Amino acid sequence: MVDLMTPGLQTGNLAVTAGVVTILIVLSEHYKVLDRVGVLAAAALGLVVGALGHWTWLIILLGFLGSAHKATKWRFDEKAELGLCESIDGHRSWGNVVANGGLPGLVAVIAFLLDDHENGLWVFASAVAVAAADTFASEIGCLDKRVRMITTMKECDAGTNGGFSPNGQLAAAAGSVLIAILAFVASQDIALAGLVALIGWLGCQVDSVLGAVLENRGLMTKGSVNAAAITFGIIAMWYHLGMPHL
């Protein structure tokens, strides 16, 4: 019988990974989730995450990709009229794939090299949870008029770096909880899944603070702010796990 649960370069894991990546390509093309280069980037990232980590990690990543697409398309016409959309039709590019999936992919590589997939799953999930929380907050919270700057609590315009709103905070929590649920299904550890949800939400706050303090002054870009927030998620879970050699 083929072993589907052993991570890494095992026959069962590779077979399921290949199947899931194929489904990813088909659905991305059909629903215009990503542009053509973005599909290729996502497929490559998916192969790295699934083959070096585990296919359940890939499901977590796809959960983020699918839900992020739904969040992007939510009330899209209204966001487009306000100039709050990154693309004209709601698809995402290879840059989005790299910005949100590059560091989780690196976690998968390190987990494979150190043969520590048990801890690697939680570090990986925390990284994805931050990306999900930030994406949900941006795409859903941007239509909430009750926006305040996170560093001063003064009112500001929607879409301003560092701005946050009640709906955005709830959306951030929803995004991180979604990833935490997928991680729980993969591992059955509810305590660590709960921590993933918390780290994801906190990572979104880190993103906002960096946006307010550094990005607005031209000292960081949107991509570097995203990377820093995701790095926070990685370090937070790594520290909680006792700083294993991961």
Cα 136 versus chain centre, distance: 10
Predicted local distance difference test score (pLDDT) of residue 88: 57
Predicted local distance difference test score (pLDDT) of residue 7: 94
The string of DSSP codes covering 72-103 is HHTTHHHHHHTT--SSSSS-B-HHHHHHHHHH
Q: From first to last of the 246 residues of the chain, give the pLDDT tens digit.
A: 778 899 999 999 999 999 999 998 998 888 888 888 989 999 999 999 999 999 999 999 999 999 998 998 888 888 888 777 665 555 677 888 888 999 999 999 999 999 999 999 999 999 999 999 999 999 998 889 999 999 999 999 888 899 999 999 999 999 999 999 999 999 999 999 999 999 999 999 999 999 999 999 999 999 999 999 999 999 999 999 998 876
First vs last Cα of the chain: how many Å apart?
31
Task: Note the helical H segments in the chain.
Answer: 11-31, 36-48, 55-73, 76-81, 94-114, 117-141, 166-187, 190-213, 222-240
